């Protein structure tokens, strides 16, 4: 695997820490800025909104740039945004800085996935994408706990200064190791790129991503209260169990990439089915502390095993023109799924059967995404057959 793919993983690590570390610092931020914990929690929603808006906007705005320049510029936005977070004099300023920082997220992963796939080429495209996303999984396993510790020990602003330093290092690594991409396609008209998103296979691929990850975040958003109130685990056990979840993310991500390189369509369907089955099995597993801990790790593996195949599938559906835009918008689709899942999980808890019903309810959603993916693949085969007959 080209060393530049690992350079992309370094950038993904920094972005992953910024996205999730705020979860462990809500109390410190709310106390320092004089806002409620729920208001501080909106900093997570604001970031997700920035990803959704920034992914198509920056991808279209930078479509004429060489991809290496795009990646370095995005990491610069990320670095400046984190410095602004560290200096934020008010809650409103911090929210704006979080949104600006998030603008770099979708396009970095979208363009980075295209670059990683092109660098690896041939039969290693999905594996290269998986290695880049390993930076995100390691951010969850290592970066977020470290950033939380720094924030609790030295103040939440110190965490953002640390992440700013990670951004500076990532800029240097990307500039040194990512090559200038030869033979890049000439930039198309933005309307041409946008029309790619209207292709049925691309639209259905994006919808599959949203639904698949809605199921994940229906449970993951509320994993701590689920383990404490339903499984009967003590609060002190949550951090070690979340490390199991993070380890599962790393393993599932790499395995999903390997399998997708062998049979992409079968892996898309298979990983979504495994995710649905794992969530369904968690209904019984969370009733006992030991099985709850083990299944949390399996849940992490099943959740992230879907990411490389879904990303590769959407990119392949875009087929060249508009590939970077489709790739970036799929990152936004993951974030939409996160937001949708958290909202649906809240409905189940507040207006439905409660925490015990989260896992079986969540299992239904990736199940629906399997049907959608199968329909998309069947339609794509039919169109290909018709095109062959026409020729």
List pLDDT tens digits, range 285-330: 989 999 999 999 999 999 989 999 998 888 888 776 677 788 888 8
Same domain? For 267 and 353 the reply is yes
**pLDDT tens digit string along 105-120?**
888 988 888 888 888 8
pLDDT bucket at 277, cuts 50 / 70 / 90? very high
**pLDDT tens digit string along 163-209?**
999 999 999 999 998 888 665 555 556 666 677 777 888 888 889 99
Same domain? For 120 and 34 the reply is yes
User: To the nearest whole number, what is the mean pLDDT of the chain?
Assistant: 86
Distance, CA of 352 to CA of 343 (rounded, Å): 13
Instruction: Specify the pTM.
Output: 0.80
More confident residue, 182 or 364: 364
Query: In sequence order, what are the residues at sequence separation of 6 or more whose Cβ sits closer than 8 angstroms to the Cβ of residue 273?
Result: 366, 367, 370
Is the per-residue pLDDT at 63 higher than 90? no
- Average confidence (pLDDT) over 233-241: 81
Same domain? For 200 and 171 the reply is no
Per-residue model confidence (pLDDT) at position 220: 83
Integer CA distances (angstroms), 359 to 11, 49, 84, 186, 216, in order: 33, 26, 38, 47, 9
Same domain? For 8 and 139 the reply is yes
Residue 11 near residue 77 (C-beta atoms within 8 A): no
Per-residue model confidence (pLDDT) at position 273: 95
Same domain? For 122 and 197 the reply is no
Q: Which of 324, 330, 335 is nearest to 70 (CA)?
A: 324
Same domain? For 161 and 207 the reply is no
Is the per-residue pLDDT at 391 higher than 70? no
Same domain? For 152 and 295 the reply is no
With respect to residue 347, please indicate whether it lies within any of the assigned structural domains.
yes
Percent of the chain whose pLDDT exceeds 90 = 32
Per-residue model confidence (pLDDT) at position 162: 94
Distance, CA of 371 to CA of 115 (rounded, Å): 30
pLDDT bucket at 341, cuts 50 / 70 / 90? confident
Per-residue model confidence (pLDDT) at position 41: 76
Number of domains in the chain: 2
By CB atoms closer than 10 A (0-12, 13-18, 19+), residue 123 is exposed
Question: Residue 164 sits in which domain range?
Answer: 1-178
With respect to residue 391, please indicate whether it lies within any of the assigned structural domains.
no
Most confident of 102-116, 264-278, 369-383: 264-278
With respect to residue 389, please indicate whether it lies within any of the assigned structural domains.
no
Is the per-residue pLDDT at 58 higher than 60? yes
Per-residue model confidence (pLDDT) at position 120: 83
């Amino acid at each position: 695997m080209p060393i530049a793919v690992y350079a992309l993983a370094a950038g993904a690590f920094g972005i992953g820490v910024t996205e999730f570390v705020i979860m462990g610092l809500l109390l410190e931020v709310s106390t320092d800025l004089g806002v409620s914990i729920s208001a501080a929690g909106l900093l997570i929603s604001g970031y997700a909104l920035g990803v959704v808006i920034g992914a198509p906007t920056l991808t279209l705005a930078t479509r004429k740039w060489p991809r290496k320049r795009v990646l370095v510029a995005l990491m610069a936005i990320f670095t400046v945004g984190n410095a602004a977070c560290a200096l934020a004099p008010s809650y409103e300023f911090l929210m704006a800085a979080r949104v600006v920082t998030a603008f770099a997220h979708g396009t970095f992963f979208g363009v980075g996935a295209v670059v990683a796939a092109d660098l690896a080429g041939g039969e290693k495209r999905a594996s290269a994408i998986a290695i880049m996303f390993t930076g995100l999984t390691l951010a969850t396993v290592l970066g977020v706990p470290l950033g939380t510790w720094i924030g609790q020990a030295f103040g939440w602003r110190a965490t953002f200064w640390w992440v700013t330093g990670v951004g500076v290092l990532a800029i240097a690594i990307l500039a040194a190791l990512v090559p200038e991409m030869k033979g890049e396609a000439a930039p198309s008209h933005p309307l041409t790129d946008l029309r790619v998103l209207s292709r049925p296979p691309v639209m259905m691929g994006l919808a599959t991503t949203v639904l698949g990850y809605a199921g994940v975040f229906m449970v993951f958003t509320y994993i701590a209260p689920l383990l404490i109130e339903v499984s009967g685990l003590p609060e002190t056990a949550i951090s070690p169990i979340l490390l199991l979840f993070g380890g599962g993310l790393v393993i599932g991500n790499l395995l999903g990439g390997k399998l997708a390189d062998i049979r992409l369509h079968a892996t898309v369907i298979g990983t979504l089915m495994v995710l649905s089955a794992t969530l369904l099995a968690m209904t019984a597993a969370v009733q006992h502390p030991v099985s709850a801990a083990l299944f949390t790790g399996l849940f992490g593996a099943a959740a992230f095993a879907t990411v490389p195949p879904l990303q590769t599938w959407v990119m392949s559906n875009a087929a060249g023109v508009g590939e970077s835009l489709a790739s970036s918008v799929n990152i936004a689709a993951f974030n939409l799924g996160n937001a949708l899942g958290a909202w649906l999980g809240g409905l189940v808890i507040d207006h439905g059967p409660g925490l015990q019903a989260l896992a079986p309810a969540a299992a239904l959603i990736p199940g629906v995404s399997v049907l959608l993916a199968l329909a998309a693949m069947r339609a794509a085969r039919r169109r290909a057959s018709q095109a062959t007959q026409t020729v």
